[in-house]
Amino acid sequence: VGTVSGTGISFGTPASVQTSVSRGSYVCFDSNAGKFAIIYAKSSTIKAKVATISGTSVSFGSEASVDSESMQTSVGATVFDPDQNAIIFARMGSSNHGRISAGAISGTSISWGSTVEYSTDYIENNLSFDLTYDTSANKTILIYKRQINSSSGDIYYRIVTTSGTSISLSTQTVFFVSTNNSAFPRCCYSPAANKTFFSYVQNSNVQTVVGTLSGSTFSFGTTKNNIAGGNANNLNHRRY
């Protein structure tokens, strides 16, 4: 745990969440509970624990199962739904299918609902999906790229509705047709503008567009070519 003071930061003693993590770990803050969810791959399953902060010390609750199916890669995306007090976690499962789950923190424990597949088709790679939360609509936005063949694929979005730890998905809708490999689609909601900013890579150029959500459908402005002629690969998952 780090404490920021001015332009410096000081750290407490490191604490071990799990000693046998097989793939990456993911952190999501529950602003209602004031606690963190730590999600990690363990052997052939996905597990989670609640982290409680006191000063610069951290303690962990008991381990809970997120999904009995293993992750294909070491990358996942998380977002907190404050309306339903739910941690939303998206990732790639077996056969590169897209999977998404919702968990709820109670005290130092976390419980998870049934996992839903957001795509039964091949998701391109571990950086080909993202999540953001629309605080006006109280909905989670999911964007992802399905692979068509070895050189192209389409980007889709779905609106995620959470009820407790249950998830329902809108019909998948095409966002952009037939991008090149490694599109790295990203999304980020702006509460001030009440709009969602989208970006993706096309022919090594970063394309951006602003979307306005109505119900489960987006309307989009004009697409901009923001970074041209360079290597725009590996757009990172961002969190604000």
Neighbouring C-alpha atoms within 13 Å toward the C-beta of 239: 10
Determine the pLDDT at residue 53.
93
pLDDT of res. 67 = 86
Of 151 and 29, the one with more pLDDT: 29
Confidence label for 227 from pLDDT (cuts 50, 70 and 90): low
Say how far apart CA 66 and CA 24 lie, in whole Å: 14
Tell me the pLDDT tens digit for each residue of 184-215. 889 999 999 999 999 988 877 888 999 999 99
pLDDT of residue 230: 46
Q: Give the model's confidence band at 62: pLDDT under 50 very low, under 70 low, under 90 confident, else very high.
A: very high
3-class SS of residue 113: coil
The one-letter amino acid code at 154 reads D
pLDDT score of 240 more than 50: no
Check if the beta carbon of residue 46 is closer than 8 Å to that of residue 22. no
Per residue in 162-179, pLDDT (tens digit) is 999 999 999 999 988 866
Pairing relationship of beta strands 2-5 and 173-179 according to DSSP bridges: unpaired
Burial annotation 188-226 (CB, 10 A radius, 16+ → b, else e): bbeeeeebbebbbbbeeebbbbbbebeebebeeeeeeee
Average model confidence (pLDDT) across the chain: 86
End-to-end CA distance of the chain: 19
Give the model's confidence band at 68: pLDDT under 50 very low, under 70 low, under 90 confident, else very high: confident
Region 102-121: what's the mean pLDDT? 93
Determine how many CB atoms are found less than 10 A away from the CB of residue 103.
Answer: 23
Q: Return the higher-pLDDT residue of 35 and 18.
A: 35
Task: Give the whole-angstrom CA distance, residue 58 versus residue 132.
Answer: 27
Q: What is the pLDDT of residue 179?
A: 66
- What's residue 80's pLDDT? 95
Structure tokens at 156: 């889709």
